[in-house]
């Protein structure tokens, strides 16, 4: 993964993490601890902006599945914003679009 950014908390309970590049084994290793830290600090309502993620592998999918379960155990949730291309195809082929709240934009978080 090339970069990731955590946007400041919005007036809602959601916070947004923007990812860019590839969500693969290497990226997941780099993301685990920062994700844990941000969840502790910002709460269990996480939206991940995938609009600039061009590739996801099974490790990346596994991270998302673990995250949604962790956040729901904490009475929160995980939303995926604007997955496209290969990422959306993988989510659809694995039927994971039913597990996650998939949104076109972060503005839809409030709906």
Q: What domains appear along the chain, each with residue ranges and CATH number?
A: 3-110 (3.30.750.24)
Query: What does the H/E/C string look like for 26-68?
Result: HHHHHHHHHHHHHHHHHCCEEEEEEEEEEEECHHHHHHHHHHH
Question: What local confidence, expressed as pLDDT, does residue 69 receive?
Answer: 96
Kindly give the confidence (pLDDT) of every residue in the chain, 111 residues in length, as a single tens digit, with 9 standing for 90 and above: 555 565 655 567 899 999 999 999 999 999 999 999 999 999 999 999 999 999 999 999 999 999 999 999 999 999 999 999 999 999 999 999 999 999 999 888 876
Question: What local confidence, expressed as pLDDT, does residue 11 receive?
Answer: 60
């Amino acid at each position: 993964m090339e970069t990731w950014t955590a946007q400041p908390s919005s007036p809602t309970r959601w916070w947004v993490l923007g990812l860019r590049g590839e969500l693969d084994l290497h990226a997941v290793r780099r993301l685990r601890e920062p994700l844990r830290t941000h969840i502790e600090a910002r709460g269990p309502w996480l939206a991940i902006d995938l609009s600039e993620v061009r590739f996801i592998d099974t490790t990346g999918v596994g991270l998302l599945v673990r995250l949604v379960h962790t956040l729901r155990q904490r009475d929160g949730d995980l939303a995926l914003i604007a997955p496209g291309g290969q990422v959306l195809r993988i989510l659809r082929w694995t039927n994971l679009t039913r597990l996650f709240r998939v949104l076109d934009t972060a503005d839809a978080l409030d709906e």
